[in-house]
Structure 1
Amino acid sequence: MSQGSERIGRVLERLRPRSIRARVTAGSVLTFFLFMVALLVFSSMVIRDLDRLRNTGRVDAVAREVAAHVETQRYEGPIPSTEPIVRLQVVDRDSGEVLAASDTLRGLPAVTTEEPTGEPTGDAEYPRLSETVCTELTGVREGDCFRVVGYAVDDSAYGDVTVLAASRTTGFFSTNVLEFVLVGVSLLLTVGTGAVLWYGVGRALRPVRNISSEMEHITASDLHRRLPVPDSDDEIAELARTANESLERLEDSVTRQRRFVSDASHELRSPITGMRTKLEVELSDPEPDARARERLLTGLLSDTERLENIVFDLLELARVETGALASRERVDLTELITTEFSDHRRYPGLRTHTSEPVRAEVNRLRMVRVLTNLVTNAERHARGRIDLYVGREGDSAVVEVHDDGSGVPEQDRERVFERFARLSESKELDPGGSGLGLPISREIVRVHGGTLTAGHSELLGGALFTVRLPLASPENGK
């Protein structure tokens, strides 16, 4: 039993439409078809009832007139009818002989042999018969059906008789023609609806196919390509715009990564080349003296330290860019600066300016790294004075590092934050620098939701580096 169920389940799974177009069309068509079936049943019942009531009312009125007439007198000739479509007979109840009839039924047997047994209705005083009969009377089309109303009249001018009034019901209502017509119309509407839906959904999803086709051709070598954005300004257009924005970010990321790898390779090559050269020179000397060996080892140590610093900075930058920061805490930047930079022997030209507590949600060790990088950079370029300020501006904590050096040219104020970017002055003042200190600092600040910018110090005339961080929310305490 379970195997049979599994087999049926697999068959149904294979039959299930795969594409959105097919699923939407199939679901909508099925829903529409079920609605049409319900409407068909309801319409058939209503139409038949209305036709029956209309026919029965007309036939009943004529039958009453004839019943009232035969109570007192006979008909001379055929029975006249106020309704041309109604056929009339007066039938002897005992023998079943037709005693009088309208022109259309003269010479024909009684349309029904049933006797009126129902209770009198309305104003009539006679037992009533109401039924639909299908008969094969001569002169009547085969399969024709009649709505028959009959009244039993006792002691009439003809004796005990049954007055029969019949009106032919159209084949449309009397047979299954109505159902066939309704089913045909329903099927046509369902097929038409399915075709319209198939076309409409296909047209609506055409931009998706275009997007999918374009995505298949986008590789790492051509990330500059963008997806077509339809003019519909709907969800699909929004999807295309979002995908293009993601592609743009991906392209920027890959471009930075490639530039980073290229720059890193170049920076790492310098100390490695220096180490190789020193070793080759030493190996070429068959009898190196102690002083030469000492110079070699000192140079190798210097190159190794530079190589170590570059690798450490690269790892630090990678960790920061991926957001791999330790947990943050509520830190008073005023207290942090006072604690870390109050040693005048270590920072002889530095003056700190603090007042009220300024709190931010940061990782303390990373923020110390940022401020140390900025102060160290200022020391490298300053003539003798560095000022460090901390305060508030609106909803931001602001830390400013001023120096009295030559400053940063306006056209280079963004370039100094690029990886391995070093201005001519920096190369002269710190030949062993990696060029990663400021990029690392900016990334740390960015991950904390802040900004790090370079500018001109109106206070000391040199460079100004400004850190802005969101203030800690007051709800967490003051």
Structure 2
Amino acid sequence: MAEARATRWFGRAWRRFGPKTVRAQATLGATAVVAAALAVASLALVGLLNANLVDNAESAAQQQATTVAALAEVGRLTPLPQVTRGADFFQVIAVDGRVLAASPNLAGRPALSPRRPVRPGTLTSTWATGLLHGEPRQLVVEVTTDTPDGLVTVLAGTSLRDADAVDSLTSASLAVGLPLLVLTVALVTWQVTGRALRPVEAIRAEMAEITDRDLHRRVPVPAGRDEIARLACTMNATLDRLEASGVRQRQFIADASHELRSPITVLRTQLEVALAHPDPAFWPELVSGALEDTTRLQSLAADLLLLARLDAAEPVTTAQVDLGELVRELAVARRGDRLPVETSVATDGILVQGSPLWLGRLVTNLLDNAQRYGERRVALSLRSDGGAAVLEVTDDGPGIPAADRERVFERFARLDDARSREAGGTGLGLAIARDIATHLGGTLTVADTATGTCFRLRIGRDC
């Protein structure tokens, strides 16, 4: 519990007082990591140097003590042995505390240690008090051995001045060098992150200047293929889509305004004529025309609302739909039309995942288009192809040139006089059909046919 509270307190403190920019955070993080690594490395370096020098000193002192002890065992302390290389002194002490022999620099000195020999063995210790020439520390090796005159202890020592000097020098160097090195790392990291983030700041500044009226502008793409360059390319691609969407929206508004203007103008003219000629004999014709234009306005408004829902990608409830049964019902409902629908369903039970309402609207729009431009026949076929449902609506009308087969799915698109406004419709039926097919995971295309036009819908698992 206490640890959790401490963690939360640290998190709040960091959010409040910690660095706020990525540049500062990166610099602080890199500097902290480098400082910690250098501190650990410095401690390890000082420890290794000190341990190595102490081991050398201990080896020299032990060699001196062992040599003198070997001579004492055979009673050959006279003449005095020489001080070996690396050792500073030695002293031989009897059981009663007498100094039996000593190096020249300890001549006349009493026993250095109050301990008396008890049993043979070796003991190593470090003395903090100087014994010779004011040395601060001495490493002393005590070797106790049997001699013809009884137990004696040989003290051999060496100064740790080299180890202390190296410790002091290394510590002083690190105390000066480490802060400079850490400061250098901080400065280099600050400069490098600043240079690396400079394109990001340029991208941010450009994005801040772009409004809905400046969607043609693009963010600068830095040289290279790093993450920032890919980010800039992605943002420019997003701006491309936004600009294209804005162009489509403005074009759609302009086309919708144009399409609405005609029936509204006609409707107003008819009403003005009715007011100018109050003769009831003319009213049925005027009201009939006004009703026709009102119906067209209602259809256009409904189509625009559906397109808005499709553009917004609103979620729709889907279920398993028997497309064959749906097609038959729609064909039966058109038996009294100018061109009856010839229906051919290959097999029963062609199930697809989708919205019954939207699938019905899709097929209805295709049939409306075929009946509007067909001359003598309209055919509707449905079959299964590799797990996908394939629906085709064919008419024997003037057909669509290959170059215009994608244009017919554009909103308010009209190709020629044969498919003109006088033929009826809002100019949105095929656009709505294509958007519904795409929204349900299918495809709607114009297929090749010898005469007339064939629209092919492919929807299902393998579409």
TM (norm. structure 1) is 0.79
Structure 1, unmatched stretches of 5+, are 123-127, 474-478
Cα gap change, 1:337 to 1:432, in 2 (>3 Å) = closer
Q: 1:211 aligns with which of 190, 203, 215?
A: 203
Output one character per residue of 1:46-101: Cα deviation in whole Å (capped at 9) or x when no partner.
4433332321121122123234446735656x862231x32225477789889753
Cα distance, 1:334 vs structure 2: 2.1
3-state DSSP of counterpart to 1:221: coil
Output one character per residue of 1:121-160: Cα deviation in whole Å (capped at 9) or x when no partner.
26xxxxx5633344274xx3x5543322345689899x99
Cα distance, 1:430 vs structure 2: 3.1
User: Does the 8 Å contact 2:299/2:426 carry over to 1?
Assistant: yes
User: Does the 8 Å contact 1:144/1:171 carry over to 2?
Assistant: no
Match status 1:320 vs 2:315: no
3-state DSSP of counterpart to 1:384: coil
User: Does the 8 Å contact 2:370/2:393 carry over to 1?
Assistant: yes
Q: Which amino acid aligns with 1:405?
A: G
Q: 2:246 aligns with which of 249, 254, 274?
A: 254
What is the rounded CA distance, in whole Å, between the counterparts of 2:13 and 2:158 in structure 1? 55
Q: Which residue does 2:3 correspond to in 1? A: none
1:45-444 paired onto structure 2 within 5 Å: 45-69=47-71, 72=75, 80-83=82-85, 85-90=86-91, 100-102=102-104, 105=105, 112-115=112-115, 119-121=119-121, 130-135=125-130, 137=132, 140=133, 144-151=136-143, 163-173=154-164, 177=168, 178-181=170-173, 187=179, 190-229=182-221, 233-280=225-272, 285=276, 288-324=278-314, 326-342=316-332, 343-346=334-337, 348-357=339-348, 358-425=350-417, 428=420, 430=422, 432-444=424-436
Cα distance, 1:169 vs structure 2: 1.6
Q: 1:30 aligns with which of 29, 32, 40?
A: 32
What is the rounded CA distance, in whole Å, between the counterparts of 1:11 and 1:322 in structure 2? 43
Structure 2, unmatched stretches of 5+, are 1-5
What is the rounded CA distance, in whole Å, between the counterparts of 1:12 and 1:398 in structure 2? 61
Q: Which residue does 1:125 correspond to in 2? A: none
Alignment: residue pair count: 453
Cα gap change, 1:153 to 1:375, in 2 (>3 Å) = closer
3-state DSSP of counterpart to 1:220: coil
What is the rounded CA distance, in whole Å, between the counterparts of 1:21 and 1:111 in structure 2? 67
Cα distance, 1:290 vs structure 2: 2.6
Output one character per residue of 1:23-68: Cα deviation in whole Å (capped at 9) or x when no partner.
3443344344444444544554444333323211211221232344
Cα gap change, 1:316 to 1:200, in 2 (>3 Å) = same
What is the rounded CA distance, in whole Å, between the counterparts of 1:119 and 1:186 in structure 2? 50
What is the rounded CA distance, in whole Å, between the counterparts of 1:251 and 1:89 in structure 2? 94
Q: Which amino acid aligns with 1:86?
A: A
Cα distance, 1:10 vs structure 2: 6.0
Cα gap change, 1:27 to 1:111, in 2 (>3 Å) = farther
Cα distance, 1:218 vs structure 2: 2.7
Cα distance, 1:165 vs structure 2: 2.7
Report percent identity of matched pairs.
Answer: 35
Q: Which moved more, 1:366-375 or 1:109-118?
A: 109-118
Cα gap change, 1:377 to 1:135, in 2 (>3 Å) = same
User: Does the 8 Å contact 2:125/2:141 carry over to 1?
Assistant: yes
Cα gap change, 1:95 to 1:382, in 2 (>3 Å) = closer
Q: 2:446 aligns with which of 448, 451, 454?
A: 454
User: Does the 8 Å contact 1:117/1:129 carry over to 2?
Assistant: no
Q: Which amino acid aligns with 2:265?
A: T
What is the rounded CA distance, in whole Å, between the counterparts of 1:428 and 1:261 in structure 2? 20
Cα gap change, 1:224 to 1:116, in 2 (>3 Å) = farther
Cα gap change, 1:229 to 1:334, in 2 (>3 Å) = same
Cα gap change, 1:457 to 1:100, in 2 (>3 Å) = closer
3-state DSSP of counterpart to 2:210: coil
What is the rounded CA distance, in whole Å, between the counterparts of 1:155 and 1:360 in structure 2? 108
